Amino acid sequence: MLTSGAIAVMIPAPLMAQEQSQRTLTVQGQGSVFIPATIAQVSLGVEVEAETAEAAQQQAARQSSAVVELLRSRNVEKLQTTGVRLNPIYNRRDGQQVITGYRASNSVSFQIATDSAGELLDTAVSRGATRIMGINFIGSDEAIAQARDRALQEATLDARSQADVVLGTLNLQRRDIVGINVNQTSHSAPPVPYQRMEAMTMDASTPIEGGEQQVSASVTLEVRY
């Protein structure tokens, strides 16, 4: 005989645990720290013109050697040659392009303390440098590393705070952090004040202000609730 009765549907415990573990919230936190830009990264060079290629190259070599000798005497860091060029100069004569001379250029880059950069640039011009191609300001490696750690801490706290606000608004409670992703940090340098400036036109002492460098970090948290 068949008898009627209540039918109970039981949800297996593993399935309930799986559904519960899928209740997650993903948040991304940001952190930024500013540090003094105490190091100037400088790129400068020599550019000369002469009637012959040999004369142009020799003159550029003499002036470049004087500039490099100065930089070495000042114990600049990361000194390296970044370019050596020799190009003909063309002008139009009687409807045709003809070579009227040659232009030679040598360029170097180096690092120096920001508060010493202005005086060194002035002296480099007096020794033969004719172009300041660029100046970039950064913090020291140690300062950047410490700032990165602080920025990561700020980003982590920011992400956790966002999760608490969202869950609290919904009357939910944060349980575990089930996922952490540390995104790439960035080092934003101050704006570059010079771009290919004609160094020979600078009559007064060159003021150099490094400003601050921004170090930023981003952290993504996956929060179970």
> In the predicted model, what is the mean pLDDT of the chain?
87
Q: In Å, how far from its chain's centre is CA 65?
A: 30
**Residue-level pLDDT at 191:** 55
Contacts of 191 (CB under 8 A, 6+ apart): none
Q: What percentage of the chain exceeds 90 in pLDDT?
A: 75
Higher pLDDT residue, 192 or 63?
63
Comparing 1-10, 66-75, 206-215, the range with the smallest average pLDDT is 1-10
Higher pLDDT residue, 103 or 14?
103
CA atoms within 13 A on the CB side of 55: 7
Mean pLDDT, rounded, for 172-197 = 76
pLDDT over 60 at 93, yes or no:
yes
Contacts of 82 (CB under 8 A, 6+ apart): 43, 107, 108, 109
Confidence of residue 207 (pLDDT cuts 50, 70, 90): confident
Mean pLDDT, rounded, for 13-38 = 80
Mean pLDDT, rounded, for 96-115 = 95
**Residue-level pLDDT at 190:** 59
**Residue-level pLDDT at 194:** 47
DSSP alpha helices (H): ranges in 11-129? 13-21, 53-73, 114-127
pLDDT over 90 at 6, yes or no:
no
**Residue-level pLDDT at 9:** 44
Mean pLDDT, rounded, for 145-154 = 96
Confidence of residue 13 (pLDDT cuts 50, 70, 90): low
- Residue whose pair of structure tokens reads 């002008």 in the numeric block: 91
Cα separation, 116 vs 105, in Å, equals: 25
Cα separation, 120 vs 70, in Å, equals: 9
